[in-house]
């Protein structure tokens, strides 16, 4: 499946999205004119190589979001085969196999003429980063944000994760959100229990059920859509607060309770 869109002045950032492992998505992205390609994370070397074979693209970079095995497991094998350069989080460099370039908040990564801002988004892991292609309206969020969900807090506090998610919540509505797992349907059924009167959410749940029935991806989403339907971006929702019995509580408290309930869902 290929998705592409960009303002006229820029060459198109091509995105090739492919399912792999149990429920991961892998992404190859490419500056078409320059012929420069990156794999966002490496869930498995074999799956990335199959995607390269299918597209005919040649791998120049790996852009890692965080250290988990289903995001870096193919790093060394792909680097050995292609000589690609590995970019990853400075805060977690010791846990990124084969890392060549360490980046963090405020750094800019280039892929040909395309530019991605790096944001630090700790919470799921200590050193998680995301790649924001502002001009291409695309953000690669790893396991920080999912459609109607967010990553589990393996190495961070609710406070840290809420700060990270606010950085994403502030991005423009049309920005496409490329997350690393197809968790949407379960997230949707959790979310609707918290905000049963949210009309945008009801519509999205129906759409997601239909897409999954047809075995079609629900990813990418958009920031605008997530802001309307994702309970982890909506701790200020009166309905959500009321469901949780936390009307008027701090947003961090509401977020933390939402995350706790999702862990048990
Ligand atoms: Zn992870």
Report residue 134 as tokens.
């502002």
Question: Has 114 been annotated as catalytic?
Answer: no
* pLDDT of 9: 63
204 C-alpha to center of ligand 1: Å?
Answer: 25
Distance between CA 10 and CA 4 in Å, rounded? 12
Closest CA to 181 of 227, 155, 220, 212: 220
151 C-alpha to center of ligand 1: Å?
Answer: 7
Question: Has 68 been annotated as catalytic?
Answer: yes
* pLDDT of 11: 75
Q: Which residue range is the domain that position 82 belongs to?
A: 2-264
Q: What is the mean pLDDT of the chain?
A: 96
125 neighbors 140 (Cβ within 8 angstroms): no
Q: Which of 31, 60, 92, 143 is catalytic?
A: 143
10-residue mean pLDDT profile of the chain (265 residues): values are 52 93 96 96 98 98 98 98 98 98 98 97 98 97 98 97 98 98 97 98 98 96 98 98 97 98 97
Q: Which of 71, 92, 120, 128 is catalytic?
A: 71
Hunting for tokens 């399912």 — which residue is that? Answer: 19
Distance between CA 211 and CA 23 in Å, rounded? 15
Quick one: CA dihedral 90, 94, 97, 100, positive or negative?
positive
Q: Which of 67, 114, 124, 128 is catalytic?
A: 124
* pLDDT of 12: 86
194 C-alpha to center of ligand 1: Å?
Answer: 25
> 31: part of which helix (H) or strand (E)?
strand 24-31
* pLDDT of 56: 97
Q: What is the CATH number of the domain that holds 238?
A: 3.60.15.10
Q: How far apart are the first and last CA of the chain?
A: 31
Q: Which of 68, 92, 120, 136 is catalytic?
A: 68
Q: Which long-range contacts (CB under 8 A, 24 or more apart) does 17-21 make?
A: 17/178, 17/217, 17/219, 17/220, 18/47, 18/50, 18/51, 18/54, 19/182, 19/217, 20/44, 20/47, 21/47, 21/70
158 C-alpha to center of ligand 1: Å?
Answer: 16
247 C-alpha to center of ligand 1: Å?
Answer: 31
124 C-alpha to center of ligand 1: Å?
Answer: 7
150 neighbors 180 (Cβ within 8 angstroms): no
Count structural domains, the chain.
1
Hunting for tokens 């918290």 — which residue is that? Answer: 194
Backbone angles phi, psi at 135, to 5 degrees: -70, -25
7 C-alpha to center of ligand 1: Å?
Answer: 32
136 neighbors 13 (Cβ within 8 angstroms): yes
Query: Is residue 238 exposed (0-12), middle (13-18) or buried (19+ Cβ within 10 Å)?
Result: exposed
Question: Has 181 been annotated as catalytic?
Answer: yes
Distance between CA 217 and CA 137 in Å, rounded? 19
Question: Has 66 been annotated as catalytic?
Answer: yes
Quick one: CA dihedral 148, 151, 157, 161, positive or negative?
negative
210 neighbors 185 (Cβ within 8 angstroms): no
Instruction: State the number of CA atoms in the 13 A half-sphere of 124 facing the CB.
Output: 23
180 C-alpha to center of ligand 1: Å?
Answer: 9
Report residue 126 as tokens.
């200590």
Question: Has 124 been annotated as catalytic?
Answer: yes
* pLDDT of 8: 53
Closest CA to 79 of 97, 103, 55, 104: 97
88 C-alpha to center of ligand 1: Å?
Answer: 14
Q: Is 160 helix (H, G, I), strand (E, B) or coil?
A: helix
């Amino acid at each position: 499946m290929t998705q592409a869109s960009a303002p006229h002045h820029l060459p198109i950032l091509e995105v090739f999205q492919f399912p792999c492992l149990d429920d991961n998505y892998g992404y190859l992205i490419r500056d078409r004119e320059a012929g420069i390609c990156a794999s966002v994370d490496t869930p498995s070397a074999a799956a990335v190589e199959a995607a390269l074979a299918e597209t005919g693209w040649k791998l120049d970079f790996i852009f890692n979001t965080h250290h988990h095995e289903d995001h870096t497991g193919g790093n060394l094998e792909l680097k050995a085969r292609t000589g690609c350069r590995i970019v990853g989080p400075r805060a977690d460099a010791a846990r990124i196999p084969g890392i060549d370039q360490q980046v963090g908040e405020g750094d800019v990564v280039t892929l040909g003429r395309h530019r991605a801002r790096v944001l630090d988004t700790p919470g799921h892991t200590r050193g998680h980063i995301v790649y924001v292609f502002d001009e291409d309206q695309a953000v690669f969020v790893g396991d920080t944000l999912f459609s109607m969900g967010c990553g589990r807090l393996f190495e961070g506090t609710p406070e840290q994760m809420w700060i990270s998610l606010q950085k994403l919540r502030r991005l423009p509505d049309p920005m496409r959100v490329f997350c690393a797992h197809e968790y949407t349907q379960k997230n949707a059924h959790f979310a609707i229990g918290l905000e049963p009167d949210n009309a945008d959410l009801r519509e999205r749940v129906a759409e997601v059920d239909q897409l999954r029935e047809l075995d079609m991806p629900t990813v990418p989403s958009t920031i605008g859509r997530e802001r309307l339907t994702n309970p982890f971006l909506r701790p200020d929702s009166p309905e959500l607060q009321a469901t949780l019995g936390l009307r008027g509580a701090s947003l961090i408290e509401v977020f933390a309770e939402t995350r706790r309930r999702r862990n048990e869902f």
